[in-house]
C-alpha cells in the first residue's frame, strides 16, 4: 500500500474560524472580537466535539456558568458531529472556504436533528462502532474489533485523537482488515508500471456516500447553492462490491459511484455481466447457491435490461463533482486505490458527490 497518500490524509487539516454564538455570550458589555473568535486547525480525520476543551478554555471568559452539550453550525445548518470534519467541509463547502467560518454553541442542543453527544466518549464509541461495521463488511464478522485488547483500544483511539499514524498502523494491522484488491496492488509493485488488466480480488469496500443533488445548473462551484438542510443530502451507507476475475476491466471510482446510485445511472451499454456488477449484493449468492434463485435473478436481469433499452434516451444524472479527502480524483482511477489510500481511520471511505439531476427534483 502506498503509505504516502495515507500520510497526506492523516496530516490534512481544515483552518477554522470559530465564532461563539451571541446567545452564549454572558458578559456585558459584549467582549472584544478576539474573545469570541478563535482560529484553529482541525484535523480532517477528527471530529468537531473533540475541539471542545480547547474552545471552552478559549471562550471561558464570555461563557455562562452552566453549559450544555457543545454543537457547531455552518450558516444555520447544525453539523453532525459523527461525520469526520474533513467530510463535512468537503460536503458543505462546494467552493472551499478558508478559513471555514463555523459558529459554536454551548447551549440549546438541537436534539431533534442531532444524535446526543456526551463528549469524547460518544465520539470514541461512534468511531469504534463504525470500525466494527467496516470489519464486518470486509471479513463477515467483527471479532477482531470486538476482541481488541483494552490497551490496543486505548492506543488506537489515542492515535486518531492525536493524528499519530505510526501507533495507528501498529494496532490496526492486528485487526486484519487487509486492503482491497491485494493481488492487483502486488502486480503493480512488481512490474513497476500501471497495468489495469491485472487480477482484481473481489471484495466489499465500506463506503459512506453523501449525495447532494441539485436540479439547477451552475457553471462555477462558487455559484452552487447552499445546503441549508440535511434533508437535501442523501446519505447512502452501502458497501461497494468489487467483482473478482482475471483480465477484466478495471473497476473504477466511476463504477463504484454508479453502483451506489443505480437509480440515476441507467447505463446505456450495460451487458448482462456488467449489470450484475452494478446491481445489489445478491449476485454473490447466485453463483453458488440454489438454482431457483439463480433463474429468478437471470430473469430480473433480463427484465431490467429491457427497461434500460426503453428508457435510456432520457437524460441521465450528471456527476458534477466527486470529492474525497479534499481532492477531486479522476473518475477513471482504480477504485481499489481510492479505497486503500483515501479511507478514514475507521476504514470507511467517505465520498461526497454533487449530482446534477434532470428536471425539478430534490432528494430527501
Partner 1 sequence: MDALSWDGTLTSRDFLVSARAFAEKWKEFNSAFPPWTWVPCPPKQPPCHLPQLQQQQQQGYLSLEKTCLPGSSKKGHVASQEDVDEISLTEGEEELEPVDNATLVETNNSPQVCYYDFHIVYSDSYRVPVLYFHCYYIDGHPLGLDEIEKDLPACSAKVLLESKWTFITQEEHPYLNRPWYKLHPCGTSEWMKLLFLGDDSLAKNGVAVEQYLVSWLSVVGQVVGIRIPFEMLNNPKSCN
Q: Where are the beta strands (DSSP E) in the chain?
A: 13-20, 37-43, 71-74, 77-78, 100-105, 203-205, 207-214, 233-237, 240-242, 318-323, 349-356
CB of 233 to partner 1, least distance (A): 8
58 is an interface residue for partner 1 by CB under 8 A:
no
237 is an interface residue for partner 1 by CB under 8 A:
yes
364 is an interface residue for partner 1 by CB under 8 A:
yes
280 is an interface residue for partner 1 by CB under 8 A:
yes
Which range, of 4-12, 18-26, 229-237, 325-333, touches partner 1 by CB under 8 A? 229-237
Which range, of 23-31, 120-128, 160-168, 336-344, touches partner 1 by CB under 8 A? 120-128
Coil, strand or helix at 67? coil
Q: Measure the CA–CA gap between 320 and 317, rounded to whole angstroms.
A: 9
Nearer to partner 1, 218 or 230 (CB): 230
Q: How far, CA to CA in Å, does 69 sit from each of 5, 20, 119, 262, 322?
A: 35, 14, 8, 39, 33
Nearer to partner 1, 170 or 356 (CB): 356
108 is an interface residue for partner 1 by CB under 8 A:
no
2 is an interface residue for partner 1 by CB under 8 A:
no
> Residue 32 is placed in which grid cell?
472584544
116 is an interface residue for partner 1 by CB under 8 A:
yes
Nearer to partner 1, 149 or 362 (CB): 362
Are residues 334 and 252 in contact, defined by beta-carbon separation less than 8 angstroms? Answer: yes
125 is an interface residue for partner 1 by CB under 8 A:
yes
Are residues 87 and 345 in contact, defined by beta-carbon separation less than 8 angstroms? Answer: no
CB of 238 to partner 1, least distance (A): 4
162-191: contacts with partner 1 (CB under 8 A): none
128 is an interface residue for partner 1 by CB under 8 A:
yes
| Residue in 11, 22, 290, 299 binding partner 1, rule: CB under 8 A | 290
> Residue 283 is placed in which grid cell?
449476485
Are residues 122 and 80 in contact, defined by beta-carbon separation less than 8 angstroms? Answer: no
Residue reference for cell 455552518: 74
Are residues 262 and 240 in contact, defined by beta-carbon separation less than 8 angstroms? Answer: no
320-359: contacts with partner 1 (CB under 8 A): 357-359
119 is an interface residue for partner 1 by CB under 8 A:
no
| Residue in 234, 248, 267, 320 binding partner 1, rule: CB under 8 A | 234
Nearer to partner 1, 85 or 126 (CB): 126
The answer for residues whose C-beta is within 8 angstroms of residue 331's C-beta and 6 or more apart is: 252, 253, 254, 257, 319, 322
- DSSP letter for each residue of 274-343: HHHHHS-TTHHHHHHS-HHHHHHHHHHHHHHHHHHHHHTTSPPPEEEEEEBTTB---TTSBHHHHHHHH-
115 is an interface residue for partner 1 by CB under 8 A:
yes
The answer for residues whose C-beta is within 8 angstroms of residue 220's C-beta and 6 or more apart is: 95
The answer for residues whose C-beta is within 8 angstroms of residue 284's C-beta and 6 or more apart is: 241
188-207: contacts with partner 1 (CB under 8 A): 206
> Residue 59 is placed in which grid cell?
471562550
363 is an interface residue for partner 1 by CB under 8 A:
yes
User: What residues pair up with 322 in beta bridges, in sequence order?
Assistant: 353
315 is an interface residue for partner 1 by CB under 8 A:
yes
Total chain residues near partner 1 (CB under 8 A): 52
Are residues 176 and 135 in contact, defined by beta-carbon separation less than 8 angstroms? Answer: no
CB of 359 to partner 1, least distance (A): 4
113 is an interface residue for partner 1 by CB under 8 A:
yes
268 is an interface residue for partner 1 by CB under 8 A:
no
218 is an interface residue for partner 1 by CB under 8 A:
no
Binding site for partner 1 (CB under 8 A): 80, 111-116, 121, 125, 128-129, 132-133, 136-137, 140-142, 146, 206, 230-231, 234-235, 237-239, 262-264, 266, 280-282, 285, 289-290, 292, 300, 304, 307, 310-311, 314-315, 357-359, 361-364
Amino acid at each position: 500500500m502506498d503509505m504516502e497518500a495515507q500520510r497526506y490524509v492523516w496530516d490534512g487539516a481544515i483552518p477554522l474560524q470559530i465564532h461563539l454564538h451571541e446567545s452564549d455570550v454572558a458578559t456585558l458589555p459584549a467582549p472584544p472580537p478576539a474573545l469570541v473568535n478563535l482560529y484553529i486547525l482541525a484535523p480532517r480525520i477528527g471530529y468537531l466535539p473533540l475541539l471542545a476543551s480547547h474552545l471552552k478554555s478559549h471562550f471561558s471568559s464570555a461563557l455562562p456558568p452552566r453549559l450544555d452539550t457543545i454543537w457547531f453550525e455552518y450558516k444555520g445548518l447544525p453539523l453532525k458531529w459523527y461525520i469526520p470534519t474533513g467530510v463535512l467541509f468537503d460536503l458543505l463547502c462546494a467552493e472551499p472556504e478558508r478559513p471555514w467560518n463555523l459558529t459554536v454553541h454551548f447551549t440549546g442542543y438541537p436534539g431533534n436533528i442531532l444524535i446526543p453527544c456526551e463528549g469524547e466518549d460518544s465520539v470514541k464509541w461512534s468511531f469504534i462502532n463504525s470500525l466494527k461495521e467496516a470489519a464486518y463488511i470486509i471479513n463477515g464478522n467483527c471479532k477482531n474489533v470486538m476482541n481488541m485488547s483494552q490497551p490496543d483500544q486505548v492506543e488506537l483511539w489515542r492515535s486518531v485523537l492525536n493524528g499519530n499514524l505510526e501507533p495507528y498502523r501498529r494496532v490496526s494491522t492486528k485487526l486484519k482488515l487487509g486492503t482491497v484488491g491485494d493481488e492487483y496492488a502486488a502486480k503493480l509493485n512488481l512490474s513497476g508500471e500501471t497495468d489495469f488488466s491485472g487480477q482484481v480480488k473481489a471484495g466489499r469496500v465500506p463506503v459512506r456516500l453523501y449525495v447532494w443533488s441539485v436540479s439547477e445548473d451552475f457553471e462555477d462551484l462558487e455559484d452552487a447553492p447552499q445546503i441549508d438542510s440535511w434533508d437535501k443530502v442523501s446519505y447512502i451507507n452501502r458497501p461497494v462490491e468489487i467483482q473478482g476475475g482475471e483480465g477484466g476491466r478495471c473497476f473504477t471510482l466511476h463504477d463504484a459511484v454508479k453502483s451506489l446510485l443505480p437509480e440515476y445511472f441507467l447505463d446505456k451499454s450495460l451487458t448482462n455481466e456488467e449489470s450484475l456488477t452494478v446491481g445489489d449484493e445478491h449476485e454473490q449468492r447466485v453463483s453458488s447457491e440454489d438454482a431457483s434463485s439463480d433463474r429468478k435473478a437471470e430473469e430480473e436481469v433480463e427484465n431490467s435490461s429491457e427497461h434500460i433499452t426503453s428508457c435510456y434516451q432520457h437524460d441521465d444524472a450528471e456527476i458534477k463533482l466527486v470529492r474525497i479527502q479534499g481532492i477531486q480524483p479522476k473518475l477513471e482511477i482504480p477504485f481499489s486505490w481510492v479505497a486503500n489510500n483515501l479511507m478514514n481511520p475507521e476504514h470507511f471511505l467517505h465520498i461526497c458527490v454533487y449530482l446534477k439531476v434532470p428536471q425539478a427534483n430534490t432528494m430527501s
